[in-house]
RNA sequence: GCGGACGUGGCGGAAUCGGUAGACGCAAGGGACUUAAAAUCCCUUGAGGGCAACCUCGUGCGGGUUCGACUCCCGCCGUCCGCACCA
């Protein structure tokens, strides 16, 4: 019977996918042993927050990770590919308040739902290592490490100005304030003075900065963002003496940090932050100043205010003395643009070379003196009015510095002041300042990891003894009022002091949830061990070889994890420097938006599309009302432009969803989810399935030889097969999934030509059949990382009784890729005019002769004599006339 | 304001090192099969010219380096992202 009439059924993903998932599960082929002697490879995707359902962003993230995991497993590595849940956090408490469901119940229900969704994706995960950060079996170890960090001096309790989120009723870290608003609530944050627990991330500021250079497999962008966030600046700490007659509280001096000590002779005022001790002191006898300070504090740090606020200040009456001239007095202001958090909270103002200072003096008429003259400017006439000059130049109006460049002047000022003592300290010392602040981790929330300390009136802060760990969250809590339920629980916090046994109180703050995610990658290496980590396991698996997640964690999570790794190393919990050797930040999943005339948003599933290109129109399915097709934006609940992964998997199958996600855009860029694209992926699945079924009955059994006298066309087919294999392997290795898929498409086109070849050589000629068999086997193996279910189905249809998921990656036969002849493009004056086919090792002179003999070349030369012939071996020939 | 990335057909994009621009897919148009539709298969598809062989132009804009530039350099324009009173 001719193959055409063998009507093969359509591939039924809904039936096939669960079947293969069950088989993988039963044979436990994705569970990883710590004592596997093979070389390790640890691939990790950022674990999800159990919000309720997975979204397309998850599908994209985990599809990419699974390609890497399956590929590396086939390449013979012992692959660790675990999954867990970032399970503490605010939404659970919000659900508790809104729906009267316990955060724990809500969280575990969500985990169950999302786990089943992830399972339907057919990911090659080792579920035996699953962890949830809200499980006491996890957070007890976090409490242990907190105590270890505390003992090592890496944790500190201090009173500090903090970011207070009035909606979430909790403190936020600097990293969690985006444009002056809380990262979750979006509410403008307020400034509050509170006693808080801090991780001393600044202790590692220099190392965190320096080590960025070692992270060669991180995106340059992320490294740069972290570098800017850490914000190292080198400068000078200068002690300005105060005029004793003017200082209200008997203060002697004021410390100033500057990076522009070269401009010291351009100074004409000093300024301190509103919350600087000198400001507080001066305000005691100065009601106007006190009022100004109160006004500054009321405004806080909200972004809009900062951007539009004028530079305001009030003279304290205090006078500072210039370090190089005892007769030079500088007025000291309290100014709203000085931050207590940076440097010493005090500056000397040099208006000519700092825009903020210039704005300030222009408002108060203090004038300015330029001290750096730009190249080519006449020092006698150079003046500053509206724009400060911060470029290079020559020192002027600066006594002994005149004529130097900026660097020389800085050095001279530093040298002179360092050498001069007042009391037992020099007048200045070189200093490095960081923008990075310590990480405040106290949260006034219930659903987080309890901070394991006890407050005793007599003994102070007492760590919970290790034998009492974990400090577990009480379950009988109520969410009927705002605030922290732990704080008002009738009994939980009342415990005896571990030291003196008198009544004491537990700390009721919990840890920032970013603490939970700062070490989960280490826990995965041995989630069963009774210590936070097992040293053999972390030594074996860490660092993570390939970490994949969203760019939104470029600073927060990725910086915290780097800190945690250092703190864990300092306390002996692991021995590595950096947690993630390779980082890949994937793009978002975006979709066009649909808006009704009434201004409400319509979901893609509610919309019918008509027409193409410019004439595309959209209508509501329910009423037929036209809706406007809006811009392509990140899938979000608010714009309702989301597509539910469950719907896609039910309609098309997990393989189609995975394939489309990987095929349509470079992985680091946003991918636009389109119905056409998904259908294209679906069409490809059916096409492969049809082709395999058409060919399979005519193929020799697996492992058939090519014989001693292969038929015509065998070599050509094998060359294409192995070229495709080499290309796809290379592209997957570089995480270029979209081009890997393009190469697979090309190869499927080749196989289709073979099967549809009217001469049917592959069916009648054993050696050609063997080449076709090789091609189809390799095709099934190449699609397996992206479409694992279809690959198994094809593998079985091709007569194999093994699992493709457990097969080694096929070897490229390099000798096939060595061509005897090569075809070179031929240019005349840089324009392509012809091709020339020559022996691979042809001599340069022979190539030149062959090229010049070409008709197309002769015509292009049009009688001119070639001046030069450039032959780039294996690449191109260019005739210059 | 500071820092960074990116601009290629109708669309997503390809082009490891400076060497054939537009791979592969989507969309569109034409055709075959069908009573019809779906599915499938074949052809066309950067722009312009030519019956054709072919020719000219073409990677945001303007210059430059080079035998040769999407790629490197200089100057613009545009889009996106990060940081932002950091002394």
Residues A343-400 pLDDT 10s: 899 999 999 999 889 989 998 989 899 999 988 888 898 888 888 888 888 999 999 9
Summarised one tens digit per residue, pLDDT across range A675-703 is: 889 999 999 999 999 999 999 998 999 88
Closest amino acid to nucleotide B10 (CA–C1'): A613
More confident residue, A748 or A620: A748
User: Which residue's entry shows tokens 């119905």?
Assistant: A675
Grade residue A169 by pLDDT with cuts at 50, 70 and 90. Answer: confident
pLDDT greater than 50 at residue A303: no
pLDDT of A168 strictly over 90? no
Length of chain A: 881
Closest residue (Cα, C1') to B53:
A856
Distance between the alpha carbon (CA) of A526 and the C1' atom of B59, Å:
51
* Residue A300: pLDDT band with limits 50, 70, 90: low
pTM of the model: 0.92
CA of A826, C1' of B68: distance in angstroms: 11
Encode pLDDT of A59-89 as tens digits.
999 999 999 999 999 999 999 999 999 999 9
The torsion of the CA quartet A386, A388, A393, A398, rounded to 10 degrees, works out to 100
**Per-residue confidence (pLDDT) for residue A294, from 0 to 100:** 86
Q: What is the pLDDT of residues A307-331, one digit of tens each?
A: 556 888 999 999 999 999 999 999 9
Nucleotide with smallest C1' distance to residue A743 CA: B24
- Which nucleotide's C1' atom has the smallest distance to the CA of A356? B85
- Length A849 CA → B52 C1' (Å): 29
Residue with the bigger pLDDT between A729 and A8: it is A729
Give the nearest nucleotide to A271, CA to C1'.
Answer: B87
B16 C1' to A871 CA distance, Å:
21
Widest distance between CA atoms in chain A: 112
Helix (H, G, I), strand (E, B) or coil at A420: coil
- DSSP letter string, A779-840: HHHHHTTT-HHHHHHHHHHTT--S-GGGSPPPPP-HHHH--SEEEEEEEETTEEEEEEEEET
Torsion, Cα A703 A708 A713 A717, to 10 degrees, reads 30
A763 confidence band (pLDDT: 50, 70, 90):
low
Nearest-nucleotide field for A676 (CA, C1'): B26
Please, which positions of strand B sit below 7 A from a protein CB?
3-5, 10, 12-16, 19-21, 23-29, 39-42, 55-57, 67-69, 81-87
Give A715's pLDDT tier (boundaries 50, 70, 90).
confident
How far is the C-alpha of A672 from the C-alpha of A664, rounded, in Å?
8
Smallest Cα–Cα separation from A576: which of A526, A524, A535, A546?
Answer: A535
Taking the C1' atom of every nucleotide in all shown strands and the CA of A433, the nearest one is B86
**The nucleotide closest to A180 (CA, C1' atoms):** B84
Per-residue pLDDT at A682: 95
In whole angstroms, B75 C1' to A583 CA is: 36
**Alpha helices, DSSP H, located in A246-333:** 277-283, 287-299, 303-308
Is the pLDDT at A304 greater than 60? The verdict is no
Rounded CA–C1' distance between A340 and B87, in angstroms:
11
pLDDT bucket at A14, cuts 50 / 70 / 90: very high
Please give the protein residue whose CA is closest to the C1' of the nucleotide B4.
A221
Q: Which of A222, A174, A155, A263 is nearest to A509 (CA)?
A: A155
H helix runs in A121-210, sequence order? 136-151, 205-210
pLDDT in tens, A442-465: 988 899 999 999 999 999 999 999
Q: How far apart, in whole angstroms, are the C-alpha atoms of residue A649 and residue A55? A: 12
Alpha-carbon gap, residue A150 to A142, rounded angstroms: 12
Lowest-pLDDT choice from A1-5, A32-36, A72-76, A241-245: A1-5
């Amino acid at each position: 019977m001719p193959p055409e009439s063998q009507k093969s059924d359509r591939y039924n993903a809904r039936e096939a996918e669960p079947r293969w998932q069950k088989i993988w599960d039963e044979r436990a082929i994705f569970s990883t042993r710590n004592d596997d002697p093979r070389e390790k490879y640890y691939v990790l995707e950022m674990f999800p927050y159990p919000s309720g359902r997975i979204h397309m962003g998850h599908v994209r993230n985990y599809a990419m990770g699974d390609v890497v995991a399956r590929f590396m497993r086939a390449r013979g590595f012992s692959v660790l590919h675990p999954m867990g849940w970032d399970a503490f956090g605010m939404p659970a408490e919000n659900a508790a308040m809104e729906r009267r469901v316990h955060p724990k119940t809500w969280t575990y229900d969500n985990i169950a739902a999302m786990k089943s969704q992830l399972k339907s994706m057919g990911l090659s995960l080792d579920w035996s290592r699953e962890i949830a950060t809200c499980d006491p079996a996890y957070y007890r170890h976090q409490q242990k490490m907190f105590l270890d960090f505390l003992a090592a001096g890496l944790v500190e309790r201090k009173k500090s100005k903090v970011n207070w989120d009035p909606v979430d009723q909790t403190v936020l870290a600097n990293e969690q304030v985006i444009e002056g608003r809380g990262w979750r609530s979006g509410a403008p944050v307020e400034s509050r003075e509170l006693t808080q627990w801090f991780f001393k991330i600044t202790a590692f500021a220099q190392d965190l900065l320096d080590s960025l250079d070692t992270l060669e497999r991180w995106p340059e962008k992320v490294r740069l963002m972290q570098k800017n966030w850490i914000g190292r600046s080198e400068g000078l700490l200068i002690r300005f003496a105060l005029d004793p007659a003017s200082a209200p509280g008997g203060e002697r001096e004021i410390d100033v940090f500057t990076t522009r000590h070269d401009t010291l002779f351009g100074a004409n005022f000093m300024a301190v932050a509103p919350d600087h001790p000198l400001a507080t002191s001066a305000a005691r006898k100065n009601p106007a100043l006190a009022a100004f300070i109160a006004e500054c504090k009321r405004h806080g740090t909200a972004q809009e205010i900062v951007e539009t606020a004028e530079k305001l200040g009030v003279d304290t009456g205090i006078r500072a003395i210039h370090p190089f001239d005892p007769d030079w007095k500088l007025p000291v202001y309290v100014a709203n643009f000085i931050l207590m958090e940076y440097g010493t909270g005090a500056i000397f103002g040099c208006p000519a070379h700092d825009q903020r200072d210039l704005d300030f003096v222009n408002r108060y008429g203090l004038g300015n003196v330029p001290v750096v003259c730009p190249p080519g400017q006449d020092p006698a006439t150079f003046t500053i009015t509206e724009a400060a000059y911060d470029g290079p130049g020559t020192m002027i109006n600066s006594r002994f510095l005149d004529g130097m460049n900026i660097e020389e002047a800085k050095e001279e000022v530093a040298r002179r002041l360092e050498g001069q003592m007042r009391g037992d300290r020099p007048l200045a010392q070189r200093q490095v300042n960081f923008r990075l602040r310590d990480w405040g981790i106290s949260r006034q929330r219930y659903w987080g990891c309890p901070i394991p300390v006890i407050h005793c009136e007599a003994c102070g802060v007492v760590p919970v003894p290790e034998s009492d760990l974990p400090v577990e969250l009480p379950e009988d809590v109520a969410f009927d009022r705002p605030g922290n339920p732990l704080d008002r629980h009738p009994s939980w916090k009342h415990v005896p002091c571990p030291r003196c046994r008198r009544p004491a109180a537990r700390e009721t703050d919990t840890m920032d949830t970013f603490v939970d995610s700062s070490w989960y990658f280490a826990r995965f290496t041995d989630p069963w061990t009774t210590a936070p980590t097992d040293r053999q396991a972390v030594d074996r698996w860490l660092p993570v070889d390939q970490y994949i997640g969203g760019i939104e964690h470029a600073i927060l999570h990725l910086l915290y994890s780097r800190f945690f790794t250092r703190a864990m190393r300092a306390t002996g919990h692991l021995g590595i420097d950096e947690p993630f050797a390779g980082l890949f930040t994937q793009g978002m999943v975006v979709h066009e938006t649909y808006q009704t005339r009434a201004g409400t948003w319509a979901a893609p599933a509610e919309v019918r599309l008509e027409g193409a290109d410019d004439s595309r129109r959209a209508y509501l399915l329910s009423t037929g009302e036209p809706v406007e097709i809006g811009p392509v934006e990140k899938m979000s609940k608010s714009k309702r432009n989301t597509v539910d992964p469950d719907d896609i998997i039910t309609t098309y199958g997990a393989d189609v969803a995975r394939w489309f996600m990987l095929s349509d855009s470079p992985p680091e860029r946003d991918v636009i989810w389109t119905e056409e694209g998904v259908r294209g992926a679906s069409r490809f699945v059916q096409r492969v399935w049809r082709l395999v079924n058409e060919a399979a009955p005519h193929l020799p059994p697996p492992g058939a030889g090519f014989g001693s006298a292969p038929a015509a066309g065998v070599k050509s087919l094998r060359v294409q097969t192995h070229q495709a294999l080499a290309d796809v392997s290379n592209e997957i290795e570089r995480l270029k999934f979209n081009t890997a898929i393009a190469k697979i498409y090309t190869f499927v086109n080749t196989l289709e030509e073979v099967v549809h070849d009217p001469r049917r050589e592959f069916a009648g000629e054993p050696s050609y059949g063997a080449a076709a068999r090789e091609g189809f086997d390799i095709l099934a193996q190449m699609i397996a990382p992206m479409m694992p279910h279809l690959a198994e189905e094809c593998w079985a249809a091709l007569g194999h009784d093994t699992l493709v998921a457990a097969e080694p990656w096929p070897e490229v036969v390099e000798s096939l890729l060595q061509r005897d002849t090569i075809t070179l493009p031929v240019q005349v004056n840089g324009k392509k005019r012809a091709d020339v086919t020559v022996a691979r090792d042809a001599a340069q002179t022979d190539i030149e002769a062959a090229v010049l003999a070409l008709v197309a070349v002769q015509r292009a030369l049009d009688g001119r004599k070639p001046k030069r012939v450039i032959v780039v071996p294996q690449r191109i020939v260019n005739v210059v006339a």
